[in-house]
């Protein structure tokens, strides 16, 4: 049977030492000395590494590594480094520095964790984001010095429910072997954003059970590591750094999966089939190429090579996909979609964003048909999402 000493908290951190200290104290206070805590300092300038060195001298189950910079690695890379190079326990969990471990959470995890099962605790959050059935909105404040700890401990029995729902979000825990067997996080999304949605899809496709317990909780101050990091912005205002990286990662998620992130109301991933799609576009331009390129596996477009080279020069640094292999390189594609860019409307673009759902929702057959401005030629029907499980 698992014990607390079989569990590691995996925590990258960048310039948020105040929250990291607060989180560490809650784990030791409400989880005891047994669970391991693995921290990666991502080139912080606020004394994070010095604090880590002090704690390692006092706490044998606290381990830390440092990215000496000057380039930020981000948690997409550092999560995996901590799991692969530092954690030695059977179970590992993705955990944020702005999370307070509530009493009883580890006992709930031990009760529910098993191979090929990913366990998420229920988040208790201040009302910074829209409400949802997968979390509890309760304003315990957004700074450690203001945290309403005593009030929270009184409320927890009221929040506790004897139920399990299907879904996944941080914090989530699983057997280390189940994480490493599919290759961990995809570095395509480094330094951050959408790496979680990507691996959640892959967990689901690999047959893992994604569950949320309602008798294990964290209080989550939300996004204090990046999106609302106080060194970059303020609570409720997304940092420019996060917005730019989120856009890059969103485009890469679409390139890989063929659709936006999808999940149900409890945050259980919804994964349409991945099709092999080629766009054949007339009356195109560089702006149209920028809009369309992520939404297909390859694109043939009637613009000059100079314009194509200009687009690739601008966009290639943002992706691991080789753009020269997908622009004006015609192959025997499974599905060919031809259209005139001059006829595109907002309605047409909505079709482009939903091809997977459209094809899944109809009795797709080999042949040709028209929809809106599109001529669609189906050469063969194959699904490729399972090829995306392992890195």
The first and second tokens of residue 234, run together, are: 């303020």
Q: What percent of the chain has pLDDT over 90?
A: 92
208-212 mean pLDDT: 98
Banded pLDDT at 364 (limits 50, 70, 90): very high
pLDDT in tens, 97-141: 999 999 999 999 999 999 999 999 999 999 988 899 999 999 999
374 pLDDT higher than 90? yes
Torsion of the alpha carbons at 280, 325, 386 and 91, rounded to the nearest 10: -140
Residue from 114, 116, 115, 121 nearest 31 by CA: 121
Banded pLDDT at 241 (limits 50, 70, 90): confident
196 pLDDT higher than 90? yes
> CA 342 to CA 350: how far, in whole Å?
16
Q: What is the pLDDT of residue 231?
A: 57
The phi, psi pair for 321, rounded to 5°, reads: -70, 135
Q: What is the pLDDT of residue 208?
A: 98
With contact defined as beta carbons under 8 Å apart, do 70 and 43 qualify? yes
> DSSP secondary structure string, 108-150?
HHHHH--TTEEEEEEEEE-TTS---TTEEE----SSGGG--HH
pLDDT in tens, 39-61: 999 999 999 999 999 999 999 99
Least confident range of 49-53, 91-95, 358-362: 358-362
What domains appear along the chain, each with residue ranges and CATH number?
4-257 (3.90.550.10), 277-388 (no CATH)
* Whether the model pTM is above 0.85: yes
| Average pLDDT taken over every residue of the chain | 95
20 pLDDT higher than 60? yes
In the three-class reduction of DSSP (H, G, I as helix; E, B as strand; rest coil), residue 275 is classed as coil
Q: What is the pLDDT of residue 234?
A: 57
Q: What is the pLDDT of residue 232?
A: 53
Q: What is the pLDDT of residue 243?
A: 86
> CA 188 to CA 308: how far, in whole Å?
22
**How far is C-alpha 256 from the chain's CA centre?**
14
323-347 mean pLDDT: 95
């Amino acid at each position: 049977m698992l014990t607390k000493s079989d569990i590691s908290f995996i925590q990258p951190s960048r310039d948020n030492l105040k929250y990291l200290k607060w989180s560490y104290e809650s784990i030791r206070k409400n989880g005891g000395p047994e669970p391991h805590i693995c921290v990666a300092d991502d080139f912080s300038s606020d004394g994070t590494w010095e604090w880590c060195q002090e704690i390692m001298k006092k706490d044998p189950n606290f381990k830390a590594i440092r990215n000496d910079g000057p380039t930020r690695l981000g948690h997409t890379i550092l999560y995996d480094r901590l799991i692969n190079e530092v954690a030695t326990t059977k179970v590992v969990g993705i955990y944020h520095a702005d999370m307070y471990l509530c009493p009883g959470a580890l006992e709930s995890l031990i009760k529910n964790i098993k191979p090929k099962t990913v366990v998420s605790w229920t988040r208790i959050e201040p009302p910074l984001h829209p409400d949802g059935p997968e979390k509890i909105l309760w304003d315990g404040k957004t700074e450690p010095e203001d945290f309403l700890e005593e009030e929270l401990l009184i409320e927890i029995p009221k929040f506790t429910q004897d139920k399990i729902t299907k879904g996944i979000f941080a914090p989530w825990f699983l057997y280390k072997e189940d994480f490493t067997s599919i290759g961990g996080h995809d570095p395509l999304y480094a330094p951050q954003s959408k790496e979680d949605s990507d691996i959640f899809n892959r967990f689901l496709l690999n047959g893992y059970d994604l569950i949320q317990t309602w008798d294990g909780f964290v209080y989550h101050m939300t996004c204090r590591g990046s999106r609302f990091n106080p060194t970059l912005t303020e609570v409720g205002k997304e940092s420019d750094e996060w917005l730019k990286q989120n856009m890059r990662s969103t485009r890469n998620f679409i390139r890989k999966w063929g659709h936006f992130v999808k999940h149900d109301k409890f945050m259980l991933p919804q994964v349409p089939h991945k099709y092999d799609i080629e766009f054949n576009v007339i009356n195109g331009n560089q702006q149209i190429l920028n809009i369309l390129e992520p939404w297909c596996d390859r694109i043939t477009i009637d613009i000059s090579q100079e314009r194509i080279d200009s687009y690739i020069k601008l966009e290639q640094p943002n992706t691991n996909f080789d753009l020269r292999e997908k622009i004006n390189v015609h192959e025997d594609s499974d599905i060919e979609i031809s259209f005139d860019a001059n006829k595109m409307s907002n309605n047409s673009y909505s079709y482009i964003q939903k091809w997977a759902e459209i094809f899944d929702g109809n009795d797709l057959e080999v042949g040709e048909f028209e929809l809106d401005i599109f001529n669609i030629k189906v050469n063969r029907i194959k699904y490729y999402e399972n090829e995306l499980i392992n890195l």
